[in-house]
A and B are shown apart, each in its own frame.
Chain A
């Protein structure tokens, strides 16, 4: 397994540069979700620029679409487009690289942005893959604040109705949303039990540890007859104390000083991860 932890810290630097350039972005969630995306794209999913149109490719839906900067960084690292172009054009006038996923770009299957859409869409994909019998798997990443959307639970119900063992949903459980902690805004602490009661197979792991995530994803593949949920317990803003665990950094552009400190911290953590 490649050193995915170090890769995550390297790609977080791309994200920060994107947000500085575009003067906007959901930096806190980008930092929490990064290790989930890195593990999926560089260790788990059968998806690349070469096979992006193959019917048997694995499918991915970024339901928490506001963290598109992290997805752009990962897709660029996979070779779908150039990171320099993303950083230069992100959120600028006329740019294709807008603030939510758009499937006019290579590597992006579905447009998202409004929350609560991804799980039903992923259920549809998983039903189709069962019909197609190609063995493809479907992954969808949701935020924890997103779980307040009722459509998530419609999707959760249908996923077990159709025994979708080819579906793996991930919740980026960073415990913060724009107005404060999830527990203050709308409590989610029983998320594991909630999904279990809907008939799902559930894992709860350190969502910023690629090894723990990999283990959960591998285990999910062996489960038959029901969908799996990986509750990825993460730290919002992970990478620098300047932004870690601060609800105010849900959407925030660093000042020049904050930028220097964050980049310094990210480089140090990347370096440390390389020598772990």
Chain B
């Protein structure tokens, strides 16, 4: 089991680049520890800005830095970053078109037993609804590295969502296909298409293995780019499939499932089933316990997929 979480990879990539790129600035809202960015703060204190527990200030300051040529990466728990400072994300980042990268850490239900105040099951919908805001949800540490490397090269705002816990690898160091804004095909199969993002990609991949044992062939599409959604990739992989299953650590409304269903229904109508968290405060537990309870695991995904094409 991999012990390196995606947030640590973000810190590593930023430290590597900050050596030569003095415009990279990391900002935290008393969140350097939980964001795994203490290492950055220690290595490059002159490129680090602490704003205290003040998310609106965090995002506003980031926009001001970007306007003056800096490349800010603002990290804060996704629950607060995507709601408390939503308007700053909308007006100061997206609308003003400033080069701010918002890193939503401990996203989804990462904070488990801490309750709904600390969960971000609405961030994909909320951020995607803002014009000029991009939304990325990397699945494993290898993809996270490629994504951050790519984001360092552009000058537009984006929201990046990463969970708190280390996740099992989907890819390997030598084999991590990555093209910016194009979904990654994890495995190919003609019967059913499973579209997943973030921590749900690995269980979706495992579900494909379970389905194979039953003689059902599944394609798994890693839609790390929730916005801009890779519509071409969805339609290409959905062609011929008897059903499409979406899996996300998010509310059932407005996230990956809703977006994929829009694309399929308009272009290649067929059954689309959305697996997501309930529209309610989730049951108390660790991420894995909660995923298991709601069927957001390999068994649950495989069961849903098999039933969908019966």
Contacts and interface: CB of A to CB of B under 8 A. Distances in A.
Interface stretch (B10-18, B85-93, B168-176, B262-270): B85-93
The A interface is mostly helix, strand or loop, or mixed, namely helix
Contact of B68 (A116, A117, A129, A150): A129
Nearest to B96: A111
Nearest to A123: B61
The B interface is mostly helix, strand or loop, or mixed, namely helix
B96 A151 contact: no
A128 B88 CA distance: 18
Interface residues of A, number: 33
Interface stretch (B49-57, B201-209, B224-232, B242-250): B49-57
A126 B95 contact: no
B65 interface: yes
B57 A123 contact: yes
Interface string A164-185: 0000000000000000000000
B115 interface: no
Interface in B207-225: none
A123 B52 contact: no
A220 interface: no
Contacts of A106: none
Given A125-B68, A131-B70, A132-B69, A112 B60 contact: no
B67 A158 contact: no
A33 B191 CA distance: 66
Contacts of A151: 56-57, 60, 88
A61 B57 CA distance: 15
A127 B49 contact: yes
A138 to B, nearest CB: 8
B79 interface: no
Given A124-B67, A132-B69, A154 B87 contact: no
A117 B60 contact: yes
The size class of the interface chain B forms with chain A is: 20 to 34
B147 interface: no
- Name, among B56, B57, B63, the residue most crowded by chain A CB atoms within 10 Å (CB to CB): B57
Nearest to A138: B64
Contacts of B54: 154, 157-158
A158 B69 contact: no
A114 B91 contact: yes
Contact of B65 (A61, A103, A124): A124
Interface string A18-58: 00000000000000000000000000000000000001000
A110 B70 contact: no
Contacts of A155: 57, 60-61
Interface in B60-104: 60-70, 72, 87-88, 91-92, 95-97
A170 to B, nearest CB: 17
Nearest to A151: B56
B91 A120 contact: no
B51 A59 contact: no
9 contacts: A59-B67, A110-B96, A117-B91, A117-B92, A121-B92, A124-B72, A125-B67, A131-B46, A131-B70
Interface of B: 22, 25, 46, 49, 51-52, 54, 56-57, 59-70, 72, 87-88, 91-92, 95-97
Interface of A: 55, 59, 61, 103, 109-114, 116-117, 119-129, 131-132, 150-151, 154-155, 157-158, 161-162
The 9 A-B pairs of least Cβ separation, nearest first, read A124-B64, A120-B60, A128-B68, A154-B57, A124-B61, A125-B64, A154-B54, A151-B56, A121-B64
